[in-house]
Amino acid sequence: MRILVVDDETLARDRLRRMLLAIDGCECVGEAGNGKDAIDLVTELSPDLVLLDIRMPGMDGLEAAAHLSRLEEPPAIIFCTAYEEHAIWAFDLQAVGCLLKPVHRERLEHALGNARRVNRVRIRALGQVDESRHTHISARTHRGLELIAVDDIRYLQADSKYVTVRYGGGEVLVDDALRDLEEEFSDLFVRTHRSALVGVRFITAIEKALDGQHRLRLKDVEQSIEISRRHLPGVCKLVKSL
């Protein structure tokens, strides 16, 4: 079994790696100190399983697991945590392994034997343990699993069953519902139309076209975004406060 070890503490990673060396059939193929690096390494190394710390600076383990679950063949995940309440959630869900720190070899061996693949529904339930929101949106592209920093997104535009995410590096399609994205990031985006959310920090001005239609101009974006009559008062109020 090819295993990736993820923990922000070097000593914790070293301890897990030494235990894995003593377990037959297990190989530590890499290490990461945060969730974002873990995702990059999973894409590069394709491990069978990830030993994943929950509490880490930046992108934590729960968010990393949520992004990894979007892969066509996600690795199995065992959470490692010093917080007992996290373990209780995991065991109640009977979804993924969860080990309390300090991790003991016998428990690690047992968890490795029972590890299952993670799915998005169970990860969302685990996410209730931590009230912090996601820092990135993930998309499956021809390059693999691509992470888009939320604070780099200019706008989100729904079309059919997909949402176009426009950011500094271009555009990607995601299958998240626009309504869910608006709910999670309500302070960062403003709805301008039933099918569009705009990043507040990138708004430069409201302009009125010859046909009377109001549109938003955005920093570093040539295309302006339509503002519906319904949402115009709220958008105008927001722009005046910027």
Domain boundaries, the chain: 2-129, 151-241
Tokens of residue 175, six digits:
């299958």
Residue pair 93/128 in contact by the 8 Å Cβ criterion: no
Residue pair 107/101 in contact by the 8 Å Cβ criterion: no
User: According to the CATH classification, is domain 2-129 in 3.40.50.2300?
Assistant: yes
* Residue, of 154 and 146, whose pLDDT is higher: 154
* Residues 58-65, mean pLDDT to the nearest whole number: 88
Task: Give percent above pLDDT 70 in the chain.
Answer: 87
What are the distances in angstroms from CA 96 to CA 1, 33, 50, 113, 169? 17, 21, 11, 12, 34
DSSP state at residue 175: -
Please tell me the predicted confidence (pLDDT) of residue 123: 54
> Which residues, including other chains, have CB under 8 Å from residue 94's CB and lie 6 or more apart?
none
Long-range contacts from 238-241, C-beta under 8 angstroms, 24+ separation:
238/190, 238/200, 238/203, 239/203, 239/205, 239/206
Q: What pLDDT band is residue 153 in, cutting at 50, 70 and 90?
A: very high
Please tell me the predicted confidence (pLDDT) of residue 62: 83
Indicate the length of the chain as a whole number: 242
Task: Give percent above pLDDT 90 in the chain.
Answer: 59
Please tell me the predicted confidence (pLDDT) of residue 85: 56
Please tell me the predicted confidence (pLDDT) of residue 141: 82
CATH H superfamily, domain 151-241:
LytTr DNA-binding domain (2.40.50.1020)
Q: What pLDDT band is residue 61 in, cutting at 50, 70 and 90?
A: confident
**Identical fold, 2-129 and 151-241:** no
Show the beta-strand stretches assigned E in 55-120.
76-81, 97-100
* Residues 96-108, mean pLDDT to the nearest whole number: 85
Q: What pLDDT band is residue 90 in, cutting at 50, 70 and 90?
A: very low
Q: What pLDDT band is residue 180 in, cutting at 50, 70 and 90?
A: very high
- For the stretch 125-142, pLDDT in tens is 555 544 457 899 999 887
Which helix (H) or strand (E) covers residue 110, if one does? helix 105-114
pLDDT at 183 over 70: yes
- For the stretch 184-201, pLDDT in tens is 999 999 999 999 999 999
Question: CB-based burial of residue 159 (10 Å sphere; 0-12 exposed, 13-18 middle, 19+ buried)?
Answer: exposed
Please tell me the predicted confidence (pLDDT) of residue 151: 94
In the numeric block, the tokens 């297990």 are attached to 26
